[in-house]
Structure 1
Amino acid sequence: MARTPIAAAVAISWVWLWTAPAAGGTVTVEGQAPGPTPFLAVLELAVDDPGALRSVEVVIEPKPGSAARPIGARYTRSYLEARGYLDPQTGSLALPVFGLYAGFDNSVALKATFRGSRASRVTVEVPTPAWDDPSGVYANPTVVQPRAPADRLSYDYVLLKGYVEGLSPVIVDTDGEVRWVGTAGASSQPAILFENGIYVGDGTRLVRMELDGTSRDLADYADLGVVQFHHNFDPGKRGILVQVDTADAIESVILEVDASGDVLETWDMNEIVGSAMQAGGDDPSGFVKEGVDWFHSNAVAYDPSDDTLLVSSRESFVIAIDYDTGTIRWILGDPAKSWYQYPSLRRFALELGSDTLPPIGQHALSVAGRELLLFDNGSNSQNHTPAGESRDYSAARRYRIDPRRGRATETWTYVAEPPIYSPFCSSIYRDRRKDYLLDYSLAGPFLSTDVVGLTRRGAVAFHYSYPILDGCSIAWNAIPIHLEKLVFRDPPPTPAASAARAPRTARPGR
């Protein structure tokens, strides 16, 4: 089902500031209309030679004093026609603009490119109304440390994965300004920017939102036994790794779906871990507990270096499994926890290198330069005995994994000064092997949600703090994204048409 948010009726206003005509190819502004949120608008343009149009570029100029680079997008002619924005006969063009500042007179620069390297440029002022933040939180963070205009970071925008008031997700810039909010009315824990669209879960349905504010349901997994989505959407080998609850399994089933929502692969950690324990001579019933949140998956990362999935079990460990077979490759975790008492699992345990601590209650796995990066919460198991160690602080850690030698060595650690303890949720990601983004979802603990930018050298670039409303709901996870040079070539994917594959199970004796 396609969804098109309806904007409130307001008078159309526009300001034409400047245009540089090009012989045989010009674009002029005839008006503008508001989008479904103050962060969106539609510019009504006239193209005098539509047959020669190749693309249109849009740049949102930053506010004075802003450190964030401008949001920019280039729309190809084929995309504009496929979306129904461009009438190739009349030259009428309804151009979507996203990432506007709310309550501000935005300066928007347009460049239309035509055949023969001709170009027409127009600068438009787009006034927007103030945003009535239904959460009362996102629009007014406490600025612990602002980002200085001279500070250089590899990223400028942050996807806050929250589930408040149907806003999922919220995009802010590194100045702390809200620049986009979800328009599908979903309060979704998982969210991801994938192939120029925002994916969220709504019940058993996978929903894709376009940055222009339109949205549609791509797939409904209820017929596959899915009850709901939970935790994260992560980039996979061929699509998106999604975590689901089913009628038979709590937080222990992973799907990989493509951009249309078609299921490519399925991994059931109940089967994978249970089969390995049986093959190793152990009774899994005391560990793989039916009807209990025994695993609690909260993140999955694909490692292309050895074709493995790295799965975070908050309750026990990080476990690596073969992408194709589901065979366990290795386990990294606290040996004081229950899992280590089983020889069938202990045989996969990585030895810890010197000055290396195991992760405890970790979240937000990713592969950063062939190393494992994660947020080490420091909170022990909730559903196993022994529960393992606990710490009174949280840390970001990178590990070098040597599967051949069976060893994990900690290569980088960040602990805030003074230390911050966030026992649940939270995240750490590295942007393109450069700078980091930390999210202490329950800092204090349970006092605030703190989003912190960190340079590759470990210096704090910015720090914004939000009050907690309902547990981790403001930003249970946050990840850097790039909105500076998006290119829209192909229309959004069509809804899914296929069923799931059979779950992966480990091969006996492996």
Structure 2
Amino acid sequence: MFKKTVLATVVAGLAMASINAHSAGLYGMKPKVGPNAPLGYIVHDPYGNAPLTALVTLNNHKISDVTVTVHADDKDGVPITYDVGDMRLYSEGGVPIFGLYPDFNNTFTVSYSEGGEKKSAEYRFYAPDVDVGINQNQWAKAPTAEVHHVDPEFKDRLYFVNFTTATTKEAKLTHNNVTAQGAFNWDGTPAFLIYDTAGDIRWFMNPHTTHDPSHFEKAGYAMGMNVTAEGNMAWVQGQGWKEMTLMGRMISEHSLPGDFIDASHEGMPIENGNYLLRVAKKDYKRRDGKIVNTIRDHIIEVDARGELVDFWDLNEILDPMRDAALLSLDAGAVCLNIDVDKAGHQATAEDIHEAPYGDIHGVETGRNWVHVNSVDYDPEDDSIILSSRHQSAVFKITRDKKVKWILGAPRGWKGELADKVLTPVDKRGKKLNCDDARCYDTDFDYSWTSHTAYKVDEKGTLTVFDNGDGRYLEQPTFPTDKYSRAVEYKIDEDKMTVQQVWEYGKDELGYEGYSPVTSIVKYQADKDSVMTHFASAGLFGVGGGYGNLKMDETTGKVKSIITEHRYGETKPAVRIDIDSHRLFATGYRAQVIRPSEMMQ
């Protein structure tokens, strides 16, 4: 009996050893959980779109109340700490790790609850270096940040920034279709990055997976990123728009509705769950019978499935023949059209009336007469708010396609539109001394070639980035007299008046902050603050005027200036300068990123 039992045990042991050996063979190269790791294995950049992310898989663990801390790289670095929603764990398939340092062996801690017990685990993980493409006129791998000042309570800030340039390798549309109409020939490798307040890059989007220059639907500049109510990143890109998680998981990719083309500048998620996109219209029949592709003059509303809900044709709503602002522009910097040879020159009336049709600033449908560069939505009266660079004005337009008000200089508006121009007043409501282009003996000024206009629900105001080109509908004697500013207005829609309540940049930065194109100013409710991005400062060489432009560390380097102010103050709580990495690589926009809100 004893011998049988021993024999049975030996046979069973041999069988188990055989099974284990066979299982090891089946396991092959599948990832294994590392030593001293209580959860699962780690996946680098799980979706291929965000190289400074990772995923700690769960290996069948059921955890909750997760907090992640990516530790600082040194004593001057900034740790990133955020909470992860329980459902987000299942959506991502593990614990999402955001904010790894590039080309560095990172340390991060995952704290969580399991089985009623609080647990914590520390991990080490190397992340690759930054790669946002290479250009022939490039001196650094990515834009570099210089931190001037950060108040302690703003140290946890993360700033998203994107840049707009084309690369010689990938911008096939630009190179092969140089005379193409509209924005179709505008294509470039996306440069989406997130910086911390130590000036370190903590996230970037893989431009080689999110952009395809050989595909009509996937080419184009990536612009107008906004954060959705669900905490995802949404932006427009050429002939469509995308939505992606901070971890790089592509939620959706949509083509534009069939009658529309050339999305750029703004992809705004709004309160009803839909999106407002700034686009153009193809094969547009004008009143004179000519067929053209329009330029940056249509707003469409689409739902989350990509279906068209409504559209605004600004050729019918506004006046495409108004030339007051167009005649005052610096011809060297017309947003995407940066032409150094024309810097400091103005277009003539003949230029803007007789220019070829296409993406050229000029009057009449089929030219870049309005150049809308931001869109906002006001649910209180179901209206949209538009910033127009080439009309140097901000508009509010109702659902029934009527102009409610115009914030801008009165010159050149006719008929019913002239009656919609707001009257500037002081804080007591007294009318200011103004002519058709400027106001006197006051700090009030209109916004000129503005680049964003967003309502501030908490304050009942409107913030606008005043780029400042064509100020007072003229060019100054000296280019160095130009300046840009962040400005806040209070509008009384019943009295049709506007009051200026705050500004920054005119006296504080002057020509150093002058940004002829792009930029943004936006209120931040979480810290009761205002974030401003002077995105193209130094485009023509700060302090040097025009003329001697070349690729070097001074005149060729565009500087983005990010500031954040406590509400109502003019001394910045944050100032970070970001120097471009390529010749004339202009910053486009910045946003404050809050990972705890985006990981729920």
The answer as to whether partners of 2:227 and 2:233 remain within 8 angstroms in 1 is yes
DSSP 3-state at the match of 1:446:
coil
1:424 partner letter: V
Give the Cα separation in 1 of the matches to 2:114 and 2:410.
Answer: 64
Q: Is the 8 A contact 1:423 1:442 kept in 2?
A: yes
- Residue 303 (structure 1) aligns with: 378
Q: Residue in 2 aligned with 1:464?
A: 577
Q: CA–CA distance in 1 between the matches of 2:81 and 2:309? A: 33
Contact 2:147 2:199 in 1 (8 A): no
Asked whether 1:203 is paired with 2:238, we answer yes
**What TM-score, normalized to structure 1?**
0.76
Give 1:189's match in structure 2, choosing from 204, 218, 223. Answer: 223
Shift of 1:138: 6.7
Contact 1:15 1:124 (8 Å CA) reproduced: no
Look up the match of 2:216.
none
Q: Which one-letter code corresponds to 2:376 in the other structure? A: A
Match of 1:366 in 2: 454
Unaligned runs of 5+ residues in structure 1 are 1-8, 18-27, 86-93, 278-285, 489-510
Sort the Cα spacing of 1:74 and 1:216 in 2 relative to 1 into closer, same or farther, 3 A. closer
Q: Are positions 1:475 and 2:584 aligned together?
A: no
The yes-or-no answer on 1:425 pairing with 2:535 is: no
Q: Which residue of 2 aligns with 1:396?
A: 486
Secondary structure of the 2:417 match is helix
> Are the equivalent residues in 2 in contact too, given 1:230–1:245 (CA < 8 A)?
no
1:178 aligns with 2:201: yes
Equivalence for 2:495: 405
- The one-character-per-residue Cα deviations of 1:116-154 (angstroms, maximum 9, x if unpaired) are x4433222222323334535657452516153xx52228
Which residue of 1 is the match for residue 417 of structure 2? 345
Paired position in structure 1 for 2:158: 157
**1:333 corresponds to which residue?**
408
Please tell me whether the aligned partners of residues 426 and 441 of structure 1 are also in contact (alpha carbons under 8 angstroms). yes
Aligned equivalents of 1:389 and 1:328: distance in 2? 29
CA distance in 2, matches of 1:142, 1:121: 33
1:138-157 maps to which residues of 2 (within 5 A)?
139=142, 141-143=144-146, 145-147=148-150, 151-153=152-154, 156-157=157-158
Please state how far the C-alpha of 1:333 moved relative to its aligned partner: 0.5
Q: Which residue of 2 aligns with 1:453?
A: 563
- Relative to structure 1, is the Cα distance of residues 437 and 255 closer, same or farther in structure 2, using a 3 angstrom cutoff? same
Match of 1:231, SS state, is coil
How do 1:160-309 and structure 2 match up within 5 A? 160-164=161-165, 166-183=189-206, 184-186=209-211, 187-194=221-228, 195-215=230-250, 217-223=252-258, 225-238=259-272, 239-247=274-282, 248=284, 249-273=294-318, 289-309=364-384
Partner of 2:10: none
Per-residue Cα deviation, 1:56-107 (whole angstroms, up to 9, x for no partner): 443323344457562424142x444455x2xxxxxxxx43322211122323
Q: Secondary structure at the match of 1:345?
A: helix
Structure 2 partner of 1:443 = 537
Identify the residue that residue 3 of structure 2 maps to in structure 1. none
What is the aligned partner in structure 2 of residue 320 from structure 1?
396
Tell me the secondary structure at the aligned position of residue 318 of structure 2.
Answer: helix
Question: Identity over the aligned pairs, expressed in percent?
Answer: 21
Could you tell me whether the CA contact under 8 Å between 1:205 and 1:221 is conserved in 2? yes
Q: Which residue of 1 aligns with 2:56?
A: 43
Contact 1:170 1:180 (8 Å CA) reproduced = yes
CA contact under 8 A between 1:315 and 1:380: conserved in structure 2?
A: no
Q: Give yes or no for contact 2:235–2:266 (8 Å, CA) kept in 1.
A: no
CA 1:163–1:288: 2 relative to 1, 3 Å? closer
Q: In structure 1, how many angstroms separate the alpha carbons of the residues matched to 2:155 and 2:303?
A: 28
In structure 2, relative to structure 1, the CA distance for the partners of 1:42 and 1:217 (3 Å cut) is same
Name whichever structure is richer in strand by fraction: 1
The Cα offsets for residues 401-442 of structure 1, whole Å up to 9 and x where unpaired, read as: 011111111000112534121111112222117223222222
User: Partner amino acid for 2:98?
Assistant: F
Residue 29 in structure 1 maps to residue 104 in structure 2: no
Q: Take 2:155 and 2:402, find their aligned partners in 1: how far apart are those partners?
A: 37
Q: Structure 1 residues 310, 138: closer, same or farther in 2, change over 3 A? A: farther
- Residue by residue over 1:438-497, the C-alpha shift from the partner in whole angstroms, topping out at 9 and shown as x without a partner, is 2222213434132322322222322223136365x5421112221145443xxxxxxxxx
Deviation readout 1:173-216 (Å, 9 max, x if unpaired): 22222122223433412222222222233332222222222325
Distance (whole Å) between structure 1 residues aligned to residue 306 and residue 561 of structure 2: 31
2:529 and 2:450 mapped to 1: Cα distance? 20
Cα separation, partners in 2 of 1:67 and 1:170, compared to 1, 3 Å: same
What amino acid is aligned across from residue 392 of structure 1 in structure 2?
K
Moved more, 128-137 or 449-458: 128-137
With over 3 angstroms needed to count, the CA separation of the structure-2 counterparts of 1:245 and 1:12, relative to structure 1, is: farther
SS of corresponding position for 2:376:
strand
Contact 1:156 1:481 in 2 (8 A): yes
Cα-to-partner distance string for 1:317-343 (whole Å, 9 max, x where unaligned): 111112x3222111111234x3x3x13
Summarize deviations over 1:280-321 as a string: whole Å, max 9, x none: xxxxxx997121111110011223454432111111211111
| Equivalent-residue separation in structure 1 for 2:222 and 2:79 (angstroms) | 28
| Partner in structure 1 of residue 13 of structure 2 | none
- Whose relative contact order is higher, 1 or 2, with alpha carbons under 8 Å and at least 6 apart? 1
Pick aligned residue for 2:80 from 70, 86, 109: 70
Structure with the bigger percentage of helix? 2
**Rg larger for:** 2
CA 1:155–1:125 in 2, change beyond 3 Å: closer, same or farther?
closer
Aligned to 1:376: 466
Q: Which residue of 2 aligns with 1:5?
A: none
What is the SS of the residue equivalent to 2:72? Answer: coil
